[in-house]
A and B are shown apart, each in its own frame.
Chain A
Amino acid sequence: MKKALTLALALTVGTAAAQSAFVWPSAWTADQNTGNKRGGELRLSAISDFKTMNPFTSSEADSIPDRMESGTGLFTQDPRNDEFIPYMAAGAPVVSNNNKRFVVKIRQGMKFSDGQAITADDWVTTWKIHTDDKVGSNSYDTFFLVGKPITVKKLDNYTLQFDFPQPSASALSIMSYAPWPDHVFGKAYREGGADAVKKMWGLATPASQIIGAGTWIVDSYRAGERTVFKKNPNWGDWNKDSRGQELPYLNTMSVRIVADANASLAAFLAGQIDTVGMRNADDLAQTKKAIDNGSLKAFLKANVSPQATSQWITFNWNKAGDPAKQKLFRDVRFRRAMSHIANRQAMVQLALGGLGSETYFSTYPIFKQQIDAGLAAGAPQYKYDLAQASKLLAQIGYTKKNAQGYLVDKSGKVLEFNLSTNAGNTVREQLGRIFADEAKKVGVKVNFTPIDFNTLVSQLTSKGENRPFDAILLGLSGGSNIWSFGSNVVPCGTNLHSYNNPTDGKCATSQEQLMTKLYYQGDSELNDAKRRAIGGQLMKAEGELQPVIYLVGGNFHVAFNERLGGEFPANLMNAYYGQRLNALTFIK
């Protein structure tokens, strides 16, 4: 009798949980799984081997914990309008204390893959371990705002309270970190501290001990070959499609390690993996060829959006050892002339094989709303125009050319500087080559050398009055569409404020001060439209100052094997959101 009662109780809890499931909007896919096709494997590839399964020590760009974190987070961004909607949260947060305190109710009935309930403790423990500097988590900094900590408190088992040191536009995004099981990591942390956590979940750990809250959990790992994820059996309890079916449809997801991008393309063409990033026109041409000759059945769409990356040239303003160069690099006319020299069209044609976008701002062209706000605010673009460049250089005092055709100043000194990029990156080497060769046409001597990546980075991030470089060509990626300006890039004194980084970290120009002010103003502005308008002002100041010359970016193309269903509708596909959600993907 007693037994039957517990069973009945469990049943009611189960239905209660089912009622509170998150329903994935049908608009998130162009290809509804109306036939309810279930099972099968999504086959992916990665270029470098995974290094750990531990979410607190992982520092890779693509990692096992990263992949296990998909399908978690208190809030999730709706690709239709970029807005955050409650996901693991039961509803919108209750905001108080001048937008600094957030009280969040957690959705009930969610379970880890081992069957333990997901509760407030898991979020608190995860936050605690991430912010212990002895652990060395890569996410450490995300829990701080301008050096001040964000705190997470448990009010009851299903209620969390977040306290921010100041209002932040990214608050919902910051709160949406993945919870890791308190009964695994919290236990170890309480018993053995940071060291105990660091020792956990290495690659040799049996997959059965790896527990997660997200869509996928590790099924098997073979060093240097393949990692197989299987679906979390408890995830479907609270994730349903619009017809009430449990998600994900797939049974497994495998990630095969390949030598390089060419090898992953080969594997895709051979039908061994289901999708691959198309880097350039060559990749597209190969895929198209395979589709046309019938050896591959695949979906292919070119130029879906620009990539979320930038390539730029920065000039060093801190050259106490060479005052002439410092004066030159600090002259806004010189930098505008350099932007006029950058033949972005040729760069797209030659270095990117014809498929790419010209860029003029630190904001990636994919963040179209922000770019539009910038252009509306009057942010200038100094386009390719050698005559204009010559005119600007003449204003600085370079009017004469020497026998070799290089511009010289009054004392006969040639207008020249060194430009470096990281060796081994073919696209950047070509961009640099083209820039140098175009500069030669107006008489500027650019000594372009690809150098070691590590050396380059230490030069770029060096601080002081006499930093060891003239100009560097490099790229950045990452950043969000909430506030698309880099916290480490725009404000004076930060690591990647690459053009001006003196010992005291002070701004050198009023525009920098304005940009720094606008950065923090925008970062704490919660209204999207107002924030974008602030961003537009920032872009205008940045464009006029032209501290960094932005060049070009590649385009994002989509290709996947036709056995996959459940991709995004065409208007949702882009470099930021990708081509699909794994949860809604199924095998036809």
Chain B
Amino acid sequence: MIPFLLRRLVQSIPTLLLASILIFFVIQLAPGDFLTPAKLNPNISPEQLAALQRNFGLDRHPIEQYFLWMRNMLFHFDLGLSFSYQQPVLDVIKPRVANSMYLVLLYTVLFYLIAIPLGVFGAVRQNSLGDKAVNVFLYFLLGFPSFFLALIVIYFILQLRTKTGLDIPINGMTSNDFDSMTAVQKFFDVTKHLIIPAVILAVSDAAGLTRVIRGQMLEVMRSDYIRTARAKGVTERTAIWKHTFRNAILPIVANVGSLLPSAVAGAGFIEVVFAYPGITPMILDALNAQDLYLIAGFTVITTVLLVIGNALGDILLAVVDPRIKVG
């Protein structure tokens, strides 16, 4: 195990290096920089612009900037300073990533809760009317760009609010009086805000995993050992859940490692549409503002997590499938 991890560590160095170089220089290649909008501000003089440029280090050559950044990262574990926040990148990102994680976590749970039963159902009742109906319905939902679906949902929540008078949250993560709540109330308040975006995401994405589980189930169901089990008189229920399902989800379990970076990368557009204080709206802002170190620092973190996630996936696969050895 230890040598495996060590080797993985060594292997990940070029990936990290490549990712940091790619991101850093792509941002530099783009026209303009963080200070470009300031040029359109009637109140900022050229002298002040020059001073700001010096302060931000934007007057140095990009390669010099890169090496300075790298040095700070390696020796001081410092990802740099965000231009717009004037704070260390890690401090800026941390609360946002945490918020995104809540959403992604809930979404993932819901996602599996929806996809697994539907996938198993599809396999057991292959090509039945129910199977087809689920299929068409899920693909119908999959076709909605998530921002579009969210807009429609927000509209219906508004309608529902006016009709029923219920306080269904439209956006954000907490209610106005959040700070005066008890811990339990806080938990329920956040959950209340999370549930709608999480359900939208889970339902609209469920098609893919449902089909994978259905396929895996079909594959295993037709294998010899299930046939044998059935012949031996195992009940249908046991044959499906104990023998088939367990084997069918092996590859999915192995894939859990890839959830790690996606938990940090956030839930995408849905965060923007629901004004959820996750990482996506912030990074989109940063991209617009060309907040160099914020973007680059964030990328480094997701890359590291991907590397860890992949290694984790390999280890997990070895744990669940005795035929595979780590190494």
Q: Which residues of A are at the interface with B, using a C-beta cutoff of 8 A?
A: 41, 43, 48-49, 51-52, 54, 57, 59-60, 133-134, 136, 138, 140-142, 144, 147, 198, 202-204, 220, 222-226, 228, 254, 256-259, 263, 266-267, 269-270, 272, 290, 293, 295, 452-455, 457-458, 460-461, 476, 478-479, 486-489, 495-496
Contacts and interface: CB of A to CB of B under 8 A. Distances in A.
Contacts of A141: 43-45, 48
A138 to B, nearest CB: 7
A48 B39 contact: no
24 contacts: A49-B277, A49-B281, A49-B282, A133-B47, A138-B44, A140-B51, A147-B45, A202-B91, A203-B92, A225-B172, A259-B275, A263-B171, A266-B154, A272-B176, A295-B162, A454-B36, A457-B36, A457-B37, A458-B32, A458-B39, A478-B42, A486-B42, A488-B42, A496-B42
B120 interface: no
Interface stretch (B66-74, B82-90, B215-223): B82-90
Contacts of B282: 49, 224
B31 interface: yes
Interface string B266-278: 0000001111111
B85 A225 contact: no
B87 A225 contact: no
B321 interface: no
A313 to B, nearest CB: 16
A202 B85 contact: yes
A222 B162 contact: no
Nearest to B92: A203
Nearest to A200: B86
Contact of A142 (B31, B43, B87, B99): B43
Contact of B290 (A144, A198, A258, A454): A454
Contacts of B91: 202, 204
B170 interface: yes
B158 A458 contact: no
Contacts, number: 152
Contacts of B96: 223-224
B46 interface: yes
A203 B85 contact: yes
A48 B285 contact: yes
A226 B44 contact: no
B31 A259 contact: no
Interface string B146-182: 0000000010001001100000001111101011000
Interface of B: 30-33, 36-40, 42-48, 51-52, 55, 84-87, 91-92, 95-96, 99, 154, 158, 161-162, 170-174, 176, 178-179, 272-278, 281-282, 285, 290
Contacts of A59: 38, 84
B171 A258 contact: yes
A59 B172 CA distance: 25
A225 B277 CA distance: 6
Contacts of A142: 43
In the A-B complex, list the 6 residue pairs whose CB atoms are closest, starting with the nearest. A224-B277, A454-B32, A295-B162, A133-B51, A488-B42, A259-B275
A455 B43 contact: no
A93 B310 CA distance: 70
Given A224-B281, A487-B42, A254 B170 contact: no
Contacts of A257: 172, 275, 277
B214 to A, nearest CB: 36
Contacts of A454: 30-33, 36-37, 290
B274 A293 contact: no
Contacts of A222: 174, 178, 277
A495 B86 CA distance: 26
Nearest to B174: A225
Contacts of A136: 48, 51-52, 55
Kindly name the residue among B33, B52, B275 whose own CB sees the greatest number of chain A CB atoms within 10 A: B275
Nearest to A57: B86
Nearest to A477: B42
A577 B153 CA distance: 36
A452 B29 CA distance: 14
A204 B84 contact: no
A515 to B, nearest CB: 16
Contacts of B40: 457, 460-461, 496
A466 B306 CA distance: 48
Contacts of B37: 453-454, 457
A259 B272 contact: yes
A54 B86 contact: yes
Given A136-B51, A226-B172, A226-B176, A258 B46 contact: no
Given A222-B174, A226-B172, A454-B290, A258 B275 contact: yes
B267 to A, nearest CB: 13
Contacts of B276: 224
Nearest to A475: B40
A28 B220 CA distance: 78
Kindly name the residue among A41, A49, A144, A258 whose own CB sees the greatest number of chain B CB atoms within 10 A: A49
B295 to A, nearest CB: 15
Nearest to A60: B84
Given A202-B85, A458-B31, A140 B48 contact: yes
